[in-house]
Structure 1
Amino acid sequence: MPGFLELLPTPARRALRWPAAIWLFLALFALALMGASDALAHGVTQGDKGYIQEISGVKLLPFVYLGAKHMMTGYDHILFLFGVIFFLYRLKDIGLYVSLFAIGHSTTMILGVYFNVGINAFLIDAIIGLSVVYKALDNLGAFQRWFGVQPDTRAATLIFGLFHGFGLATKILEYEISSDGLVPNLLAFNVGVELGQLLALAVILIGMSYWRRTAGFARHAYTANVAMMCAGFVLVGMQLAGYVVFHV
Structure 2
Amino acid sequence: MVKHFSHRALTIALTLGAFLIFSSSAFAHGFTSVVYVDATQGARDHVRTELALEYDLLVVSAADVEHDDPLFEDGTAAFDGGDPKAQAAALDEHIDTVVAYVTGRFGVSADGTRCRPSRDGGVEIEQRDGVPYARLALDFACPAGAGAHELTSKLFPGSEQYVRSTHTIVTYEDLDVQSGTASLDAAHPSFSTEQSRLEQYWAFFRLGAEHLYTGIDHILFLLALIAGSRRLRDIIAVATTFTVAHSVTFILAALGVVSAPASVIEPVIALSISVVAGMTLYRLWRPDDGAEGLDWQRLALVFVFGLVHGLGFASALGLDRAFSWSLLSSLLVFNLGIESVQIAIILAVFPALLLLRRRVPLAGLSATGAIATGVCAMGLLWFVQRVAGV
TM range (shorter): 0.7 to 0.9
Letter aligned with residue 195 of structure 1: S
Q: Secondary structure at the match of 2:11?
A: coil
Letter aligned with residue 191 of structure 1: L
Cα distance change on mapping 1:194 and 1:220 into 2, 3 Å: closer
Runs of at least 5 residues in structure 2 that lack an aligned partner in the other structure: 1-5, 36-155, 157-164, 173-178, 181-196
Q: 1-side partners of 2:215 and 2:369: how far apart? A: 24
Cα offset for 1:152? 1.2
Q: 1-side partners of 2:332 and 2:344: how far apart? A: 18
Cα offset for 1:162? 0.3
Cα distance change on mapping 1:26 and 1:189 into 2, 3 Å: farther
Letter aligned with residue 30 of structure 1: I
Q: 2-side partners of 1:224 and 1:32: how far apart? A: 14
Of residues 3, 9, 18, the one that matches 2:11 is: 18
Partner residue in 2 for 1:199: 344
Q: Say yes or no: does 1:109 pair with 2:250.
A: yes
Task: Please list, as runs of the form range in 1=range in 2, the aligned pairs for 1:146-161 lying within 5 A after superposition.
Answer: 150=294, 152-161=297-306
Q: 1-side partners of 2:170 and 2:22: how far apart? A: 28
Contact kept, 8 Å, 1:64 with 1:190, in 2: the verdict is: yes
Q: 1-side partners of 2:229 and 2:338: how far apart? A: 22
Partner residue in 1 for 2:382: 235
Cα offset for 1:207? 3.8
Cα distance change on mapping 1:199 and 1:223 into 2, 3 Å: closer
Cα distance change on mapping 1:195 and 1:25 into 2, 3 Å: farther
Partner residue in 2 for 1:30: 21
Q: Say yes or no: does 1:98 pair with 2:89.
A: no
Cα distance change on mapping 1:80 and 1:234 into 2, 3 Å: same
- Percent sequence identity is 27
Cα offset for 1:138? 0.9
Partner residue in 1 for 2:282: 141
Contact kept, 8 Å, 1:118 with 1:169, in 2: the verdict is: no
Q: 1-side partners of 2:239 and 2:322: how far apart? A: 31
Partner residue in 2 for 1:124: 265
Cα distance change on mapping 1:134 and 1:42 into 2, 3 Å: farther
Partner residue in 2 for 1:65: 206
Between the two structures, name the one with larger relative contact order (CA 8 Å, sep ≥ 6): 1
Contact kept, 8 Å, 1:53 with 1:178, in 2: the verdict is: no
Q: Say yes or no: does 1:226 pair with 2:373.
A: yes
Runs of at least 5 residues in structure 1 that lack an aligned partner in the other structure: 1-12
Partner residue in 2 for 1:217: 364
Q: 2-side partners of 1:85 and 1:43: how far apart? A: 30
Letter aligned with residue 268 of structure 2: I
Q: Secondary structure at the match of 1:168?
A: helix
Which of these two proteins has the greater Rg computed from alpha carbons? 2
Cα offset for 1:109? 0.4
Q: Say yes or no: does 1:81 pair with 2:222.
A: yes
Q: 1-side partners of 2:18 and 2:379: how far apart? A: 14
Letter aligned with residue 93 of structure 1: D
Q: TM-score, normalised by structure 1?
A: 0.75
Q: 2-side partners of 1:190 and 1:228: how far apart? A: 24
Q: Secondary structure at the match of 1:217?
A: helix
Aligned-residue Cα RMSD (Å) equals 3.5
Q: Secondary structure at the match of 1:153?
A: helix
Q: 2-side partners of 1:123 and 1:222: how far apart? A: 29
Q: TM-score, normalised by structure 2?
A: 0.50
Contact kept, 8 Å, 1:53 with 1:176, in 2: the verdict is: no
Q: How many residues align?
A: 224
Cα distance change on mapping 1:126 and 1:199 into 2, 3 Å: same
Q: Say yes or no: does 1:171 pair with 2:316.
A: yes
Partner residue in 1 for 2:327: 182
Letter aligned with residue 202 of structure 1: L
Summarize deviations over 1:94-136 as a string: whole Å, max 9, x none: 1111000000000000000102643222431111110011012
Q: 1-side partners of 2:347 and 2:369: how far apart? A: 23
Q: Secondary structure at the match of 1:128?
A: helix
Letter aligned with residue 170 of structure 1: S
Summarize deviations over 1:168-205 as a string: whole Å, max 9, x none: 111111x6789772111111101111111111212222
Q: Say yes or no: does 1:49 pair with 2:40.
A: no
Letter aligned with residue 103 of structure 1: V
Q: 1-side partners of 2:232 and 2:337: how far apart? A: 22
